[in-house]
């Protein structure tokens, strides 16, 4: 097999790898929520791991690995660069699965993309505002707590009707001020 044939097969393998990487980025948050957050107290697990930022980072990592591998002639580096790229890809994917909101019967846990997770107790909720989605605005929940702090999250389009109903049932069971507009 000649040098140009080897380059063509590398590009085909790289494009197939990029395709599977995008599928992996898309399904990992759902798989993680299915296995890790499926218990009796579970209300909803809202994962933001499918965000444009994470798709972009994954695409950039895979693209750079392909580009660098194309121009490197040393076999050792051709093995090391994809391994480093795979480690970076897995790291970005793990960060993405952690970027979520978990609603339990006892608490709300917010796991931001790059900082420490925050936990809010349902018992300390004072007021809830639910902004219904419109053409201009996304659906949003705003929680005000007894100590005056606020927590809000935008409900993604992946939020099912069942999850939405569970959230509403929990809010109504709290017997707190509830506004919906």
pLDDT tens figures, 45-103 = 676 655 667 777 777 887 888 788 778 888 888 888 888 888 887 787 776 666 778 88
Instruction: Determine phi and psi for 113, rounding to 5 degrees.
Output: -65, -45
The token pair at 72 is 């490197």
Average pLDDT, the chain: 78
Long-range contacts at 162-170 (CB < 8 A, ≥ 24 apart) = 163/43, 163/44, 163/46, 166/43, 166/44, 166/103, 167/43, 167/44, 167/103, 167/141, 168/130, 170/43, 170/103, 170/105, 170/122
Contact 181, 131 (CB under 8 A): yes
Q: Where are the domains of the chain?
A: 3-98, 111-180
Q: Which CATH architecture has domain 111-180?
A: Roll (2.30)
pLDDT(135) > 70: yes
Cα–Cα distance for residue pair 68/114, rounded to 1 Å: 28
pTM above 0.85, yes or no: no
């Amino acid at each position: 097999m000649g040098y140009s044939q080897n380059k063509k097969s590398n590009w085909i393998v790289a494009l197939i790898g990029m395709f599977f990487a995008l599928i992996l980025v898309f399904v990992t948050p759902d798989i993680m929520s299915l296995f890790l957050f499926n218990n009796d107290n579970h209300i909803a697990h809202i994962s933001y791991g499918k965000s444009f930022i994470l798709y972009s980072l994954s695409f950039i990592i895979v693209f750079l690995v392909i580009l660098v591998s194309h121009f490197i002639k040393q076999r050792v580096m051709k093995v090391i660069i994809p391994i480093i790229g795979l480690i970076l890809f897995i790291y970005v994917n793990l960060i993405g699965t952690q970027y979520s909101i978990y609603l339990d019967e006892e608490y709300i846990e917010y796991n931001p993309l790059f900082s420490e997770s925050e936990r809010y107790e349902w018992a300390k909720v004072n007021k809830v505002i639910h902004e219904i989605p419109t053409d201009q605005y996304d659906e949003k929940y705003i929680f005000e707590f007894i100590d005056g702090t606020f927590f809000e999250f935008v409900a993604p389009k992946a939020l099912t009707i069942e999850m939405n109903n569970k959230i509403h049932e929990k809010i109504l069971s709290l017997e707190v001020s509830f506004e919906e507009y």
